[in-house]
Structure 1
């Protein structure tokens, strides 16, 4: 099969330009972070930032190359759902790194230019992925997949919440807080882990176009997963607020309170995403039952 390359006009299209911007800015961000001196403090957030920038640099570069040589039709995935997922998740993850890196990783007492440049590059990356999300969202209806709909975007938000929760839970557990029962930490970790697994399974089914092979109708499959996610995140969010009260009573118990506050905020946002998604699922099931 001959290789088909984009025409000259396609190299000035919004998608081509914004993906080039994403590749350059993510490469700049993780290169600058790799050149910094390693510190034992806040190592989990340094790894989170490095992983986020490296992962999205790699996958965006692959998408960019496949789009240029027009080989994406040979990939056994739903291309329009894949590109939308990467764009929205990339925007959310790089927004997180743009907040976490200056707050938790960058040395506030240092006036070095490289950490500041890395933070700026992360902000530019967030703007790039946000721009791509807008471009993909405004395409013709037949060019948009399920992930460009509101339920699809909510599922990406759910996956983002799970990804961001991981370093927060590890950081909280590593501090071994006093006054916080260990069962609370384990229940939260299991709840988050189950929800992340469900999000990954849902994403694989959608991107692989496996909906027709599910034992249950796909809309019921999604509704069941979403209901479980609502219940588990309700439990995890209640535990988060309980830990905040316990920290106040024990005067932080040797743990940074901002970590617990951040975990509570992310858990609450993810719970909201699951709740709204469940409302969409119930509405869809009710509409189909009337047909």
Structure 2
């Protein structure tokens, strides 16, 4: 064997702050799934969402850790740095959502009919889910590009991380739209849905391009300028949707300015319209922040090997 080759396994996957964060993800994810399946339990759409989020994040962590430890990521046609920080940011958002949803719907101050043991298990699930959120957030913090530091991967920048949050918020909007929002009543609200879908697709394309390493240039402009152009377009579209949607949902001429007392909780179109309105403004603010930050970004990852990492 060539002595210059070195060990087959990547020792940094274990003996580094990043490796410790990923081991924490594996430990807390395994604990959550074991506790839920053992005694804590889950039911309904809220429980299914939480369990799906935990299983997805755990499976993703297993794959990332295995590929990093064995160095097999070098065989993949992807930008490893961009892929891992994107996965960590997405897992952070999913775990923090599950950490809020699960205790709200499944943890009660008094003991349920099944006894206090079930309640205690559900409290333990919540604690482990919060710890998993911290572990994923730690990976994002360790990989994030610092001011004045060479940008190794676009997704490690604030702009790249905002792209993940924008996509996650868009998924919340889509969920509310599907929950009886009555968006098909007016052409204006259909336009808003088209805006949400177009901006989500454009954001997803930018993320996929960076993860696949396709960031040298886009037609006649460099990638960082292409990002700014796309973000400006998304800002303008979200601005229009953030104005049009509430007008056609809550103005007395087109909709209802207040919630009817007879409207059932969880299945009321007015509630879904409120959710869409709130998160439309949230995403508009995220796109504005993304646009402001992108003005200062000079992306140079096309000159850096994909195996290099941002120093923690």
TM-score (norm 1): 0.78
Closer, same or farther in 2 for the Cα pair 1:18/1:281, shift >3 Å?
closer
* Residue 244 of structure 2 is aligned to residue 236 of structure 1: no
1:212 to 198, 205, 216: 216
Q: Deviations over 1:128-178 (max 9, x none)?
A: 1111112222789458422122222222221221233332332343xx69x
2:10 to 1, 6, 14: 6
2:144 to 137, 151, 176: 137
**Residue of structure 2 equivalent to 1:288:** none
Closer, same or farther in 2 for the Cα pair 1:143/1:188, shift >3 Å?
closer
Secondary structure at the counterpart of residue 66 of structure 1: helix
Closer, same or farther in 2 for the Cα pair 1:98/1:11, shift >3 Å?
same
Contact 1:98–1:119 (Cα < 8 Å) also in 2: yes
2:178 to 170, 182, 201: 170
Q: Deviations over 1:43-70 (max 9, x none)?
A: 2x44433332222222221110111112
**Residue of structure 2 equivalent to 1:83:** 84
* Residue 23 of structure 2 is aligned to residue 25 of structure 1: no
* Residue 289 of structure 2 is aligned to residue 276 of structure 1: yes
* Residue 200 of structure 2 is aligned to residue 193 of structure 1: no
Q: Displacement, 1:19?
A: 0.7
Contact 1:137–1:144 (Cα < 8 Å) also in 2: no
2:166 to 136, 155, 158: 158
The structure where helix makes up a greater share of residues is: 1
Q: Which moved more, 1:26-35 or 1:155-164?
A: 26-35
* Residue 275 of structure 2 is aligned to residue 267 of structure 1: no
Q: Distance in 1 between matches of 2:163 and 2:69?
A: 28
TM-score (norm 2): 0.73
Q: Distance in 2 between matches of 1:100 and 1:85?
A: 23
Secondary structure at the counterpart of residue 179 of structure 2: helix
Contact 1:87–1:133 (Cα < 8 Å) also in 2: yes
Closer, same or farther in 2 for the Cα pair 1:238/1:144, shift >3 Å?
same
Closer, same or farther in 2 for the Cα pair 1:192/1:208, shift >3 Å?
same
Q: Deviations over 1:211-240 (max 9, x none)?
A: 236324223432332123223322333355
Structure 2 residue runs of 5 or longer lacking an equivalent are: 299-312
Structure index of larger Rg: 2
Q: Deviations over 1:26-81 (max 9, x none)?
A: 33334555562533xxx2x4443333222222222111011111222222111111
Please, what is the CA RMSD of the aligned residues? Answer: 3.4
2:231 to 226, 229, 248: 226
Q: Distance in 2 between matches of 1:284 and 1:5?
A: 35
